[in-house]
Amino acid sequence: MKLLWLLFALPLVAVDCKVAAADFKAGFGRINITPTQPIYLSGYAARKKPSEGVLQKIWAKALAIEDAKGNRAVIVTTDLIGLPRPVADRVGAEVEKRYRLRRSQLVLNSSHTHSGPVVHGNLTSMFELTPEQRRAITDYTQALAIQLADVVGAALGDLQPARLEIGHGVGTFAINRRKTIASSVKIGINPAGPVDQDVPVIRVTGLNGQLRGVLFGYACHNTTLGADQFNVNGDYAGFAQAAFEAAHPNSTAMFLMLSGADANPNPRGTVALAEQHGASLAKEVDRVLNGKLEVLSGPLRSAFQLTELAFAPHTRETFEAESKDPNWFKQQRAATMIAAYDRRAPVRSVAYPVQGIRLGKSLTLVALGGEVVIDYTLRIKKEYPGEHLIVAGYSNDVMCYIPSLRVLKEGGYEANESMIYYGQPGPFAEDVEDRLMKTVSSIMTRIGRKR
């Protein structure tokens, strides 16, 4: 009987060993980052007052991954408009000090919800603020940096053997928003414009097969709700995470914002629609999990690089003329640029982060800074076929929109007008796409991903 028991037990042991040999440990962490006092919500210049309440809590969540050789990476997602570089740098330095995690091993991604608080250093010039309102934003941002380092520690502290798998679904509500009207490009609805409806899904399970969490993404602006909404929430991405977690108790759902700067939800405008889009996304994630997934393996590689993206030439006279414009936002931008000229340091370029995380020969995550238009995702996927590829925007710094050469030449909000609200001097130079893609190529080489 003892021998018979061992014979029946052997296959079970073999299965467990095979799962354990999947190369990874994984851990999750989460921290509530909902503001505790009224604060301006970011994303819409039309808002003229602080938040009035909380429709939904917002979160910072982290997924830590460690391969069999001890190589680590932590992906942090936040229900925020974006993290400016000073905040990301502070978090990176603290994480390196506490946990010996290099900058290349830490991804900081924001969902770009337009119903989350203003973060100091990101779109702050979009609003006319009182000293008290500015102080609320500064206090929130200082606390946030500490919370983001803490959530990394929580995920690392939760590391345990895990199985990682990937699959892909299809979204239904993103639509290109760049519409040509009377020979100029306006924000509207353009069914013929490029979109990326891919919904990549990474499933994390324990060795017992129990679901521990998912990381999923979508390339669509988090703007279902408009400027007339003053309650904190995560928009469709927040509702998608909440819907998934309600259906899967004790799991963690993390949303990764992909490169959808020129895509909007359609239709949009109400809380009911935000909930509807979130529910549809959560349902699609579930559908993917119930299908065939590919098991991911090690080793884990990471790389991080800053490059410089140049702006088109400008002069002090340009902004002296703009300072007389009746538009308040242009006056603010002009004052910032003139002050830079006065310091003999006119703004000629912006530092731009590109990051890569690769798992074995199966999956690469490319994390790009700024509000990246869909053209970059389509080009990177075309140039690097054969393996799973996720192209995220809004990562490690959100300094402005990042147009492709096509979008830059066409003009419109993503190429021109948005720079006013970001306090940047104007459109990029025409080599912006070449500079960005050369850096992507460098990162891919460093993590071993070939064309």
Q: Judge if 335 and 362 occupy the same domain.
A: no
pLDDT at 125: 86
On whether the CB atoms of residues 70 and 84 are closer than 8 A, the answer is no
Residue 425 included in any domain: yes
Q: Judge if 205 and 342 occupy the same domain.
A: no
Q: Judge if 255 and 300 occupy the same domain.
A: yes
**What band does 13 get if pLDDT is binned at 50, 70 and 90?**
very low
User: Of 296, 331, 347, at which residue does a domain stop?
Assistant: 347
Residue 273 included in any domain: yes
Residue 390 included in any domain: yes
What are the tens digits of pLDDT across the range 133-147? Answer: 999 999 999 999 999
Q: Judge if 185 and 326 occupy the same domain.
A: no
Q: Could you list the residue range(s) of the whole structural domain that residue 336 is in?
A: 312-347
Q: Judge if 129 and 103 occupy the same domain.
A: yes
Q: How far is CA 272 from the centre of its chain?
A: 24
Backbone φ and ψ for 387, nearest 5 degrees, come out as: -125, 160
Q: Judge if 244 and 343 occupy the same domain.
A: no
Q: Judge if 195 and 322 occupy the same domain.
A: no
What are the tens digits of pLDDT across the range 382-398? Answer: 999 999 999 999 999 99
Backbone φ and ψ for 99, nearest 5 degrees, come out as: -120, 5
Q: Judge if 273 and 321 occupy the same domain.
A: no
Task: Give the percent of the chain with pLDDT over 90.
Answer: 94
Q: Judge if 67 and 111 occupy the same domain.
A: yes
3-state secondary structure string, the chain?
A: CHHHHHHHHHHHHHHHHHHHCCCEEEEEEEEECCCCCCCCECCCCCCCCCCCEECCCCEEEEEEEECCCCCEEEEEEECCCCCCHHHHHHHHHHHHHHHCCCHHHEEEEECCCCCCECCCCCCHHHCCCCHHHHHHHHHHHHHHHHHHHHHHHHHHHCCEEEEEEEEEEECCCEEECEEEECCEEEECCCCCCCCCCEEEEEEEEECCCCEEEEEEEECCCCCCCCCCCCEECCHHHHHHHHHHHHHCCCCEEEEEEECCCCEEECCCCCHHHHHHHHHHHHHHHHHHHCCCCEECCCCEEEEEEEEEEEECCCCHHHHHHHCCCCCHHHHHHHHHHHHHHHCCCCCCEEEEEEEEEEECCCEEEEEECCEECHHHHHHHHHHCCCCEEEEECCECCCCCEECCHHHHHHCCHHHHHHHHHHCCCCCECCCHHHHHHHHHHHHHHHCCCCC
Q: Judge if 47 and 188 occupy the same domain.
A: yes
Residue 5 included in any domain: no
Q: Judge if 342 and 297 occupy the same domain.
A: no
Q: What is the mean pLDDT of residues 432-440?
A: 98
Residue 2 included in any domain: no
Q: What is the mean pLDDT of residues 18-27?
A: 69
User: Of 347, 371, 397, at which residue does a domain stop?
Assistant: 347
Q: Judge if 30 and 112 occupy the same domain.
A: yes
Residue 261 included in any domain: yes
What are the tens digits of pLDDT across the range 336-355? Answer: 999 999 999 999 999 999 99
pLDDT at 14: 30
Question: What global pTM score does this model have?
Answer: 0.94
Domain count, the chain: 2
Residue 131 included in any domain: yes
Spatial separation of the C-alpha atoms in residues 116 and 100, rounded to whole Å: 31
**What band does 19 get if pLDDT is binned at 50, 70 and 90?**
very low
What are the tens digits of pLDDT across the range 216-232? Answer: 999 999 999 999 999 99
Tokens read off for 211: 């679901």
Residue 10 has pLDDT above 70, yes or no: no
User: Of 347, 370, 403, at which residue does a domain stop?
Assistant: 347
Residue 302 included in any domain: yes
Residue 5 has pLDDT above 60, yes or no: no
